[in-house]
Amino acid sequence: MAQGAQETDEGLIRRIEAGDQAAMRVLYARHAKRVFHYLMRFTRDSAAAEDLTNDVFIDVWKGGNRFEGRSQASTWLLAIARYKALSARRRQRETVDSETVLENWEAPGDTPEVTAQKADKGRRLRECIEQLSQEHREVINLVYYQEKSVKEISEITGAAEATVKTRMFYARKNLSALMAQAGLDRGWP
């Protein structure tokens, strides 16, 4: 198997188990941004999300042998991230308001006006998502931002697949109602 960009995540994890630092750097480069964004949406605090992201990869370095291969490595990493975020939340019951950090996406043909409209709509959509319950925000995050399946979400959250489906149904229903109240349609300008 080729090393680096060509190697599977599972292969990298096996190399990490053997103490291969280069494999750790590759795995980190592939997944740190996704784990950070997941944690950012979970914690709403960029410093906490960054610290937790580092903690996730430290755990992988120290105990990569816990990966059993029953799910994708990205699902395993998000499950570790979720556990760390929930543990941190239990330790620190106070909520911290911080600026939401999301990438600004701009299509090549967008005019400055369209870019501004998209940014405004994205901000308003995030405000609607923030009004959902924690369980509904989490399932929206995992489905739409992390592109996880119902089965993977079940593995990450520990909830039954039927529960995940029910949460997704009500999350979409509630989000649609909130979007309608905010005057948002589903398409981009």
Q: Fold identical between 4-91 and 112-181?
A: no
The third-level CATH classification (topology) of the domain covering 112-181 is Arc Repressor Mutant, subunit A (1.10.10)
DSSP letter string over 118-163?
A: HHHHHHHHHHHHHTS-HHHHHHHIIIIIS---HHHHHHHH---HHH
CA distances from 43 to 53, 113, 188 (A): 11, 31, 27
Q: Which has more confidence, 169 or 98?
A: 169
Compare 35 and 41 and report the one with higher pLDDT.
35
Closest CA to 122 of 188, 176, 168: 188
Domain ranges of the chain: 4-91, 112-181
pLDDT tens digits, one per residue of 63-114: 755 787 788 888 899 989 988 888 887 776 533 333 333 334 455 566 777 7
Pairs from 99-106 (Cβ < 8 Å, separation ≥ 24): 99/46, 100/40, 100/44, 100/126, 101/40, 101/46, 101/49, 102/37, 102/40, 102/126
Comparing 172 with 189, which gets the higher pLDDT? 172
Contact 115, 126 (CB under 8 A): no
Specify the fold of 4-91: Rna Polymerase Sigma Factor; Chain: A (1.10.1740)
pLDDT of 100: 38
Q: Please state which of the ranges 77-86, 125-134, 180-189 shows the lowest mean pLDDT.
A: 180-189
The tokens for 185 are 């349609």
Residue type, 160: A
Amino acid, res. 5: A
pLDDT at 31 over 90: yes
Candidates 6, 188, 22; CA nearest to 105 is 188
